[in-house]
Chain A
Amino acid sequence: MTKEEIENGTADMEIDQRELMNGERSELNAVPDGFNANYLKVYYGKLFPHADIFKWMSYGNDGKHPGCDESYFGRREFSFTLDNDIYLRFQSFNSVSQLENSIKEKCPFKIDIGPVYSVDPAKRHAYAQSGNNVFTPVEKELVFDIDMTDYDDVRYCCSGADVCLKCWTLMTIAIKVIDPALRDDFGFNHILWVYSGRRGVHCWVCDPKARRLTNEQRSSIAEYFRVYKGNENSQKKVSLTSSALHPFLLRSYKVLEEFFEGNLLSNQSLFSTEERYEKILEMIPDESITSELRGKWQDNKKSSISKENINVDRWKHVKKILKSGKQKGQGLGKCVEEIVFSFSYPRLDMEVSKHMNHLLKAPFCIHPKTGRVCVPIDPNHCEEFDPTAVPTLSKLLEEINMGGLGTDDDAEWDRTSLGKSIRFFRSSFLQPLLKSCKEEIENSYNAKLQHSKTSLTW
């Protein structure tokens, strides 16, 4: 259906509404699945939370306090990917209406958020001439990108672009490992986790300290989180060499073990076939142990162990033998932990986090391949998140249709499945963030006043 048909059809639909029970999908309301400019136009017109994004990106610099930096929002880079892969970089706006109008007009298939520069990106050419690096990023959120394809060697339920509830556990684990570390170790508070729309998650750390980190500092945080180092050529990709684990790894291991044993073992059937268990045996650097295990399992065809328990049982064998300390081989000390880490520890995209000028997709965009909205994820309830149940563009449009005429325009999103996400975004992230920003602006303003008072000399 075209947009006109959707809009013109509302009058008829209103009548039919009364005949429907509980918002059932009727032929008239149905919007075929898809992703196209027409759908997007409605989305950007009625649902996309322009004002919330603006407030977020302003970080309290809304002009209401004398200490506000009125140029702040205007120095932020946005980039739009249009239809036909046309890519517009260095877009900047001076107000929420400029932002909103540009999005509605250009209807980008993807919106990326870049850094805040020293000067308005639109004026960058004027400053490039001086050669003093005057046009340079000055602030950017600390971001992380975790993508399911990086785990293809340890998930058997899907591969490539597919994602299901079974492998989604890996994302749940990632959030449960990284989020507490960001808060407890690094002391960050304003953290937003977002579904990437298809097969991963993004994390935005928005504390002032985080936004001002240099590339080197970002790199060090990414390295702090890195455990997996290798490619298809390295035999052992996780190497925990030290005699004891760093507290961060110890804490993470508790989470990993719980999910590995309680979920991944069975859902991924890690030991059920020879090909699969060989992969794990490869990580054990002791021939005598691996041949003992192999022998035991090859005999198993005769045994009475049911298919369901085969994975759990075989893992028990592995643990028992490795922890028994019978064979004091080299490199066995942390072998169990290494296996667990290999299959479950988060795999970050290092490059995304290391550079201040990296552009990352904005929350609440729609993913072109799946039509799903990039909704926030609550880290405290991330085990309940279901990527297959995330609202799609077409579903949202259907829901708008069912709303009918005469309703309050401003809160149309609230009557759709998007409402929950936007409300969550505001209450758990945006409001606390803005409150803290205002405080910071006030304090720094007062400090400056104090300083100038005391330093007056005649």
Chain B
Amino acid sequence: MEIIRSQRKPVHIDVVPTLPLYRSAPPLEVRLEDFELYAMDRLRVLKGIADGLSRGKKSEEMKNLADHLWKANMRHLDASEVVNKDIISHFVLRLVYCRTEDLRKWFLSMETNLFRYRLLFEKAEVQRALMAEFDLPYRAASNAELESVKEGLKQVAQSFGQPLAADAIFYKVPFEEVPELVAGRRVFIHKGYAYIAMNQVVSLVSTQFRSHLSKALILTNRKWTSTIREQEKDRLTPIVEALCSSYLGPDYSQPREFAEISIKDIDQIAKSSFPLCMRHLFEKLREDHHLKHGGRMQLGLFLKGVGLKLEDALAFWKAEFSQRVGSERFDKEYAYSIRHNYGREGKRTDYTPYSCQKIITSAPGVGDHHGCPYRHFRTNLQYKEFLGALATNIDGVLPRSASWSNQLFICLRSKKNIHMRMYLTKFILLYQLLMHICSKV
């Protein structure tokens, strides 16, 4: 792509009646302003998808949401420019999101989801054209063939809890081409051929898309670090880096930004500043002198994230657990994993605290206290218990660059409005925590 400052020459590319696969950057010329604007529009779409997923929307809802977001953000006055915008925005965001592992993972996930939802809306011919693009050798099964395997197809559909549509299209493929579907027993196989349903084809095409994009992102990163960043340091690089930090996800790679918490402060801070999920875990720990694994991970990593040092963490957990299992057992069975969380054991990864998204989508079981109270607590009694402790009159604006802002918003908006006050309070609690910590610096 050529980025030019001044007036642009209109470039017409053939409008292809399929979804772009973003295989290679097309020879387009882009205005510098459009470079940023297109990217931001697309980012809104991707963020919207991320938001919808973390609220646990089902795939039918997500499909419609993606469609809505796309139409709302990715239009262009000039109809012939629509495809260009699509392609350009994708490639700009590649630059922005290729630079770290976390960014790549997020971008890959959201772009693949976007691709999948858009594909579901396309006509069968478009889907087939895309299959051909990826060299996937699928052939639609004839009516006669379908007749002969009808019973089996019905049974497989029933095993997903779905009825078999009368006019359902199936693709007949050698079974070895679709190992994941075979392994999961998600297709009917007969005499060496697997009969694949339409939505499974979409899934397979998306998998191909994902794997191509994954490789492309790595290459883009290399190019960025080796040449582009330096070359463009007066022009594109500042835009790329700004785009990133406005929407950056959690960045715990610099724990030194935060001041430390010490054990003697911890009760006080828990009451005044912990978010509800952590507060609950903390209280349960004090009460039971024990937490199950999910709870230990969620609370433990959170404490690490807000600055509890390893020695203090060990002392803190030991003080609680030894009241229940004895200090010897603590040393033997629990101390190792605390050190592991801090990156002192095993493969020495310095684990980051869980994001709200991860907490919300976790699955606490019997005897667990982790998870997100707004999602996992079942009785109003539990909600009421927490209401008692909430402060309600603090206003304030969370600084835009605070790291947890995005997750907060997602969490806050994840339930119905009657709980708005609580959400606001959680927002505020977290803000307070930040302020509290920052003020100590």
- Residues of A at the B interface (CB closer than 8 Å) are 184-188, 209, 213-214, 216-217, 219-221, 223-224, 242-250
Contact = CB atoms under 8 A, between A and B. Distances in A.
5 contacts: A187-B190, A209-B192, A220-B183, A223-B184, A243-B159
Interface of B: 151-152, 155-156, 158-161, 175-176, 179-180, 182-185, 188-193
A224 B190 contact: no
Contact of B159 (A184, A209, A245): A245
A213 B158 CA distance: 30
Contact of A217 (B158, B159, B179, B193): B179
Contacts of A223: 182-184
A356 to B, nearest CB: 14
B156 A247 contact: yes
Given A209-B176, A220-B180, A223-B184, A247 B152 contact: yes
A188 B159 CA distance: 25
Contacts of B189: 185-186, 224, 248
B412 to A, nearest CB: 32
Contact of B190 (A184, A213, A246): A184
Contact of A244 (B155, B175, B179, B192): B155
A142 B189 CA distance: 18
A247 B161 contact: no
Contacts of A187: 190-193
Nearest to A207: B192
Nearest to A245: B159
A333 to B, nearest CB: 12
Given A219-B179, A244-B155, 18 more contacts: A184-B190, A184-B191, A186-B189, A186-B192, A187-B193, A209-B192, A214-B176, A217-B176, A220-B183, A224-B189, A242-B160, A242-B161, A243-B161, A244-B159, A246-B159, A247-B151, A248-B189, A250-B155
B185 A224 contact: yes
B193 to A, nearest CB: 7
A254 B185 CA distance: 18
A246 B183 contact: no
Nearest to A248: B185
Contact of B185 (A186, A217, A219, A249): A249
B193 A221 contact: no
Contacts of A243: 158-159, 161
A24 to B, nearest CB: 51
Contacts of B155: 244-247, 250
A213 B175 CA distance: 11
A223 B179 CA distance: 10
A300 B92 CA distance: 76
A233 to B, nearest CB: 14
Given A186-B192, A187-B192, A244 B158 contact: yes
A181 B156 CA distance: 16
Contacts of A219: 179, 183
Nearest to A188: B192
A211 B256 CA distance: 57
Contact of A242 (B159, B182, B188): B159
B182 A220 contact: yes
Contact of B179 (A184, A188, A220, A247): A220
| Top 7 A-B pairs, shortest CB-CB distance | A187-B192, A220-B179, A223-B183, A244-B158, A220-B183, A187-B191, A246-B185
Interface centre among A186, A213, A214, A221, by most chain B C-beta atoms within 10 angstroms, is A186
Contact of B188 (A188, A217, A247, A249): A247
A219 B180 CA distance: 10
Contacts of A188: 192
Contacts of A214: 176
A221 B182 CA distance: 7
Nearest to A244: B158
B287 to A, nearest CB: 27
A241 B156 CA distance: 13
Given A185-B190, A187-B193, A220-B180, A246 B156 contact: yes
A400 B156 CA distance: 55
Contacts of A224: 182-183, 185, 189
A234 B4 CA distance: 63
A244 B183 CA distance: 17
A213 B191 CA distance: 16
A217 B191 CA distance: 16
A246 B155 CA distance: 6
Nearest to B155: A247
B190 to A, nearest CB: 6
Contacts of B180: 220
A224 B158 CA distance: 18
Nearest to B158: A244
B235 to A, nearest CB: 42
A214 to B, nearest CB: 8
Contacts of A213: 176
Contacts of A217: 176, 179
B378 to A, nearest CB: 15
A181 to B, nearest CB: 9
A242 B191 CA distance: 25
Nearest to B175: A186
Contacts of B156: 246-247
